[in-house]
């Protein structure tokens, strides 16, 4: 009958500038798609060079090597007899564009440049690419000679056009175009385009997956159609984790779904759908509007059909219910996959973590344990790539892990760094957790190093600083805490460099950090202490979410030692103990609770609030707990802390991006790091408002 089509989309773990590896993964995905009967294969955004090339996009080498890979794809017998849709950067009239290249049987059908750019949050596409602003305009693109030699074409269509096969019409969207209020699929659908494709490089954020799925469903609910969504997956060399979720939808229903988190480098999703279902849907809902589109899409015709004449016995995919991970599952899976990509691609032999026995470092430890669980499961599922990479990491060509705990002992080292201010409770909690996850654990006492450094200071100055508890000033107290914290960083790197050498193994260890997003927001950590690591899997996660994550780990991973860690008050243990017990707590030091910080962080970043706007919102949000005067004190205290410590964000450890209010200074949250910390004008506005409220209380 010629009405059913089998289409393929995919999630690929591409790596910026890894042209050889990227080519291999693209070819494998096309091969899998064809084996499932697909006549059209869609890949992620900029899959040839990798999305995260950043300023390497300026280099002519990146364009050159992308075309070299495209030539390999055109020449490969694997790509024959199916329409291949790949992403790469292309320069047209000396302007650089983010493009889709559609080709079939060694002929390029069209090149479609991105029209609406992602230029917010972590995205900076306007820095490297220009949008194609010419609606419905198509120009000639002169192909490089290396491509002409294969295709026999001098020029190909370049611009805002769609592809007409013998049986349907296909139109492209790219990533942010789906999220834009002027999404191209709307106009394309009204002009009769039946299949929409979206190649993305969309990164993970907690609680974000449902937005993506709802947008895809909405795109085909409004005017019918088939929607293919492809995405990158993994860490391609930056702070973000691209989280897959390849999918196929028709008329508002998801009919095929890929994994959000996985260690598979290549995942292909195929679906067989009926074109007549789209036509029937539109016939009832959209027919009066279909002819009102003033500018029809320019169609590039191809003598090729996606369907076969004899498809009566070919079953179609039926609607499915999407399973969304809980935030606790997301924390368990996303950072774990990111860590594995970083480890295997860095060439190092494992991780080292200063394990304090608190919530933050325990969360990092549990994420590494989750990574080991995923690795063992992947090997059990015959993932040969994971086993090959793991053997290279451990330096043993015959190694095969027995279980996650045994694997943990090979690639994960934890150390408790005690001082005279440390309690037995935290030492015991750290040791118990290490035993349960299986890490190689060490107890290290740092007092000798701390006293040596203070001895040098005393020899030069003739003075010996004292803690506040022993009569010292605030400056002395803070300096003594910082010395302990910084000694721990130095020792962490020493043991990371020589830890495997001690065990007669090759390589070094990556140092893991464990400062959460709320502490980064206020600067509640020592610059160049244990927060200064190689990477930090929890730096974009709130304390509140981390506590929920540990509750999940108690049951899911059978780690009962976490109960004691959750029950204990958060503390840095940098000041003297009182009767052997901790007298210093984080929330007392910060002057606000972690839950309050989470609210303030979201108002600062998501709601774009300065001090005055934040005060105006919080007097309503916290009216049952705090008076306007108390809210004003909290807001002022936060902004003083934030502005005094913002400079720390310029050197903070690269962290997994997970939270929409992250203060990461690298790309996501661009702010000054030298502030007028008195905020005189802003605080005066708050004080004036408090006075007005006191003199004119609300009527009951």
pLDDT digits (tens, 9 = 90+) for 360-371: 999 999 999 999
Instruction: List, edge to edge, every strand of the sheet that includes 351-354.
Output: 440-445, 412-418, 351-354, 510-511
Per residue, the 3-state secondary structure of 30-93, as one string, reads: HHHHHHCCCCEEECCCCCCCCHHHHHHHHCHHHHHHHHHHHHHHHHCHHHCCCEEEEEEEEEEC
- pLDDT at residue number 583: 63
Q: What is the DSSP letter of 312?
A: T
Phi, psi (degrees; rounded to nearest 5) at 582 = -70, 130
Whether 175 is catalytic is yes
- pLDDT at residue number 579: 66
Binned at pLDDT 50, 70 and 90, residue 294 comes out as: low
**Taking 60 as the threshold, does the pLDDT of residue 293 lie above it?**
no
Whether 114 is catalytic is yes
Distances (CA, A) of 264 to 386, 390, 429, 439, 640: 8, 14, 35, 25, 46
Chain position carrying tokens 């000694």: 487
Distances (CA, A) of 362 to 240, 348, 603: 22, 22, 28
**Taking 80 as the threshold, does the pLDDT of residue 560 lie above it?**
yes
- pLDDT at residue number 175: 93
- pLDDT at residue number 530: 74
Catalytic residue among 356, 361, 422, 561: 356
Burial class of residue 235, CB neighbours in 10 A (0-12, 13-18, 19+): buried
Mean pLDDT throughout 478-493?
A: 94
- For residue 183, the tally of other CB atoms under 10 A from its CB is 21
Catalytic residue among 29, 34, 39, 45: 45
- Asked whether the beta carbons of 80 and 107 are under 8 A apart, the reply is no
Binned at pLDDT 50, 70 and 90, residue 349 comes out as: very high
Alpha carbons 507 and 391: distance in angstroms, whole number: 13
**Taking 80 as the threshold, does the pLDDT of residue 291 lie above it?**
no
Catalytic residue among 4, 114, 527, 648: 114
Task: For residue 596, give the H/E element and its range.
Answer: helix 594-605
pLDDT digits (tens, 9 = 90+) for 174-189: 999 999 999 999 999 9
pLDDT digits (tens, 9 = 90+) for 3-60: 999 999 999 999 999 999 999 999 999 999 999 999 999 999 999 999 999 999 999 9
Mean pLDDT throughout 664-676?
A: 83
Binned at pLDDT 50, 70 and 90, residue 591 comes out as: confident
Which residues, 6 or more positions from 482, have their beta carbon under 8 angstroms from its beta carbon? Answer: 526, 529
Q: Among the listed ranges 232-236, 417-421, 584-588, 669-673, which one has the minimum average pLDDT value? A: 584-588
**Taking 80 as the threshold, does the pLDDT of residue 107 lie above it?**
yes
pLDDT digits (tens, 9 = 90+) for 205-220: 999 999 999 999 999 9
SS3 content of the chain, % helix, strand, coil (to 5): 45, 20, 35
Catalytic residue among 10, 49, 169, 175: 175
Average predicted confidence (pLDDT) for the chain: 93
Mean pLDDT throughout 235-250?
A: 96
Record the pTM: 0.93
């Amino acid at each position: 009958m010629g009405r059913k089509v089998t289409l393929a989309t995919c999630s690929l773990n591409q790596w910026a500038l890894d042209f050889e590896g990227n080519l291999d993964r693209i070819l494998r995905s096309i091969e899998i798609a064809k084996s499932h009967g697909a006549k059209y294969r869609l890949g992620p955004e900029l899959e040839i060079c990798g999305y995260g090339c950043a300023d390497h996009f300026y280099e002519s080498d990146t364009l050159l090597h992308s075309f070299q890979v495209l030539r390999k794809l055109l020449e490969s017998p694997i790509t024959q007899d199916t329409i291949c849709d790949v992403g790469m950067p292309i320069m047209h009239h000396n302007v650089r564009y983010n493009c889709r290249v559609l080709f079939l049987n060694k002929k390029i059908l069209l090149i479609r440049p991105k029209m609406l750019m992602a230029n917010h949050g972590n995205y900076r596409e306007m820095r490297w690419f220009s949008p194609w602003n010419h609606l419905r305009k198509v120009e000639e693109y002169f192909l490089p000679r290396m491509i002409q030699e294969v295709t026999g074409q001098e020029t190909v269509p370049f611009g805002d056009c769609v592809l007409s096969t013998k049986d349907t019409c296909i139109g492209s969207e790219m990533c942010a175009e789906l999220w834009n209020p002027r999404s191209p699929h709307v106009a394309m659908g009204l002009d009769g385009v039946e299949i929409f494709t979206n190649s993305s490089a969309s990164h993970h954020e907690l609680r974000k997956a449902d937005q993506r799925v709802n947008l895809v469903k909405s795109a085909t609910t409004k005017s019918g159609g088939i929607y293919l969504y492809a995405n990158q997956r993994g860490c391609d060399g930056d702070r973000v984790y691209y989280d897959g979720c390849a999918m196929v939808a028709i008329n508002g229903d998801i009919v095929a779904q890929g994994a959000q988190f996985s260690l598979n480098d290549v995942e292909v999703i195929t679906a067989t759908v009926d074109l007549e279902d789209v036509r029937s849907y539109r016939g009832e809902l959209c027919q009066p509007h279909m002819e009102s589109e003033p500018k029809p899409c320019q169609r590039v015709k191809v003598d090729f059909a996606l369907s076969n004449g004899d498809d009566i016995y070919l079953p179609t995919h039926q609607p499915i219910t999407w399973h969304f991970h809980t935030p606790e599952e997301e924390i368990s899976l996303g950072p774990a996959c990111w860590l594995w990509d970083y480890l295997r691609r860095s060439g190092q032999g494992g991780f080292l973590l200063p394990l304090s026995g608190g919530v933050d470092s325990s969360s990092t430890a549990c994420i590494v344990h989750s990574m080991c669980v995923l690795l063992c499961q992947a090997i059990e599922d015959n993932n040969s790539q994971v086993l090959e990479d793991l053997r290279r990491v451990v330096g043993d060509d015959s190694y095969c892990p027995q279980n996650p705990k045994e694997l943990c002992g090979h690639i994960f080292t934890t150390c408790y760094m005690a001082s005279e201010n440390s309690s037995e409770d935290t030492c015991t909690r750290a040791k118990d957790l290490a035993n349960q996850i299986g890490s190689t654990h060490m107890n290290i006492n740092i007092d000798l190093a701390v006293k040596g450094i203070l001895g040098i200071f005393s020899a030069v100055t003739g003075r010996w600083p004292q803690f506040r508890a022993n009569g010292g000033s605030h400056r002395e107290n803070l300096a003594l805490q910082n010395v302990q914290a910084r000694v721990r960083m130095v020792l962490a790197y020493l043991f990371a460099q020589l830890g495997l050498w001690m065990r007669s193994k090759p390589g070094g260890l990556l140092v893991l950090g464990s400062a959460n997003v709320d502490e980064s927001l206020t600067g509640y950590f020592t610059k160049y202490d244990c927060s200064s690591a190689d990477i930090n899997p929890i730096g974009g996660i709130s304390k509140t979410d981390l506590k929920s994550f540990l509750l999940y780990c108690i049951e899911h991973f059978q780690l009962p030692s976490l109960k004691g860690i959750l029950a204990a008050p958060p503390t840095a243990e940098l000041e003297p103990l009182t009767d052997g017990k901790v007298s210093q707590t984080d929330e007392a030091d910060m002057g606000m609770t972690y839950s309050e910080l989470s609210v303030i962080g979201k108002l600062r970043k998501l709601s774009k609030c300065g001090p005055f706007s934040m005060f105006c919102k919080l007097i309503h949000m916290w009216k049952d707990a705090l008076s306007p005067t108390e809210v004003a004190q909290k807001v002022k205290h936060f902004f003083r802390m934030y502005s005094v410590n913002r400079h720390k964000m310029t050197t903070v450890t690269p962290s997994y991006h997970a939270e929409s209010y992250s203060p990461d200074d690298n790309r996501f949250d661009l702010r000054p790091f030298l502030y007028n910390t008195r905020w005189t004008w802003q605080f005066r506005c708050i004080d004036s408002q408090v006075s007005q409220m006191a003199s004119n209380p609300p009527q009951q």
